[in-house]
């Protein structure tokens, strides 16, 4: 049992004894069974945020309530609430599944689906700042929906299968990856050399000098590639900021 789980159990017991707000108790109970029933927790979070119930419990901010009382990070809360809203809007029948006879997709998989669909939150904002830049073709949407809701694929499987289609890597990305790996390997080798028995100080010094020169050459190759790949991200971030 994690420390967060222990704290939730203790808080729940204390609030039950004092006759706390039923909705507050319900949120804690559903947090306890989060992994088994994320849909129920997400629904409760959406309702708490909609009603601003957390204010009556002594919290000025919805996310403070989630982090301090439910021990849920903001990113997790956003994924949960967006995923629930996505199900409600695009796949409402899933909300009726019992999770046993028909397994409910993970919230991470639904979050991936929502980003691919360019989903928006109930408050009108984008589902996430890494949503797909353009809507995918209809056939891709059909395959993705089937993978999420019928095949129950994990988010890792979805990324391997659909990222090359939905998020094609820009030219130069693979080259930069290879350069970065080479730089890391060169650095690690330089760090290991002094621990190798039998190598003379002269050999170590010569090799370290050569590895240093190699890393400098690699950095000179990497710098323009990084700048090239960073430009679209900066434009996207700037455009997103201007819409807020």
Query: Do 22 and 60 have their domain in common?
Result: yes
Mean pLDDT estimate for the chain: 86
Same domain, 144 and 200: no
Lookup: tokens for 69: 């009382």
Which pLDDT value is given to residue 119?
52
Q: Both 25 and 53 in a single domain?
A: yes
Shared domain for 151 and 191, answered yes or no, is no
Tell me which range, 2-11, 13-22, 88-97, 125-134, is most confidently predicted by mean pLDDT.
13-22
Least confident of 38-42, 116-120, 200-204, 214-218: 116-120
pLDDT higher than 90, residue 184: yes
Domain encompassing residue 109: 74-168
Question: 39 and 103: one domain?
Answer: no
Residues in the chain: 244
pLDDT at 220 over 90: yes
Of 168, 191, 208, the position where a domain reaches its end is: 168
**Which of 48-84 are b and which e, b meaning 16 or more Cβ less than 10 Å from the residue's Cβ?**
bbeeebbeeeebeebeebbbebbbbeeebbbbbbbbb
What's the pLDDT band for 172 if we cut at 50, 70, 90? Answer: confident
Q: What is the pLDDT of residue 123?
A: 46
pTM metric for this prediction: 0.59
Q: Are residues 130 and 44 in the same domain?
A: no
Q: CB-based burial of residue 111 (10 Å sphere; 0-12 exposed, 13-18 middle, 19+ buried)? A: buried
The CA radius of gyration of the chain, in Å to the nearest whole number, is 25
Q: What pLDDT was estimated at residue 241?
A: 60
The residue out of 24, 41, 72 marking a domain boundary is 72
Higher pLDDT among residues 37 and 1, named by residue: 37
49 with 123: CB under 8 angstroms? Answer: no
pLDDT of residue 126 exceeding 60, the answer is: no
Number of independent structural domains in the chain: 3
Measured between alpha carbons, how far is residue 241 from residues 117, 156, 195, 229 in Å? 21, 29, 50, 19
The residue among 25, 41, 72 that closes a domain is 72
Angle between helices 138-145 and 155-166 (to 10 degrees): 170
Q: Are residues 159 and 79 in the same domain?
A: yes
- In terms of domains, do 58 and 85 share one? no
Q: Are residues 150 and 78 in the same domain?
A: yes
Q: Name the least confident of 5-9, 42-46, 85-89, 212-216.
A: 5-9
Task: Give yes or no: residues 185 and 137 share one domain.
Answer: no
Residues 99 and 146 in one domain: yes
Per-residue pLDDT for 2 more than 60? Answer: no
Q: Kindly state whether residues 46 and 103 are assigned to the same domain.
A: no
């Amino acid at each position: 049992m994690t420390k967060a789980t222990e704290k939730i159990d203790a808080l729940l017991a204390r609030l039950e004894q004092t006759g706390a707000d039923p909705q507050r108790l319900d949120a804690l109970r559903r947090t306890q069974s989060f992994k088994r029933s994320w849909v129920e927790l997400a629904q409760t979070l959406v309702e708490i945020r909609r009603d601003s119930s957390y204010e009556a419990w002594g919290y000025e901010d919805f996310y403070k309530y989630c982090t301090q009382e439910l021990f849920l990070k903001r990113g997790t809360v956003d994924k949960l609430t967006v995923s629930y809203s996505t199900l409600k809007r695009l796949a409402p029948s899933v909300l009726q599944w019992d999770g046993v006879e028909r397994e409910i997709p993970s919230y991470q998989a639904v979050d991936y689906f929502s980003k691919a669909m360019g989903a928006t939150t109930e408050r009108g904002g984008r589902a996430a700042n890494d949503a797909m830049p353009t809507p995918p073709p209809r056939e891709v949407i059909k395959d993705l929906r089937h993978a999420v809701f019928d095949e129950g694929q994990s988010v890792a499987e979805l990324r391997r299968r659909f990222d090359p289609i939905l998020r094609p890597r820009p030219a130069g990305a693979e080259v930069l990856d290879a350069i970065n790996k080479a730089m890391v390997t060169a650095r690690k080798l330089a760090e290991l050399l002094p621990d190798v028995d039998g190598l003379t100080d002269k050999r170590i010094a010569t090799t370290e000098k050569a590895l240093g020169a190699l890393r400098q050459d690699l950095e000179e190759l990497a710098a323009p590639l990084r700048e090239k790949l960073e430009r679209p991200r900066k434009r996207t971030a700037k455009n997103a900021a201007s819409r807020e």
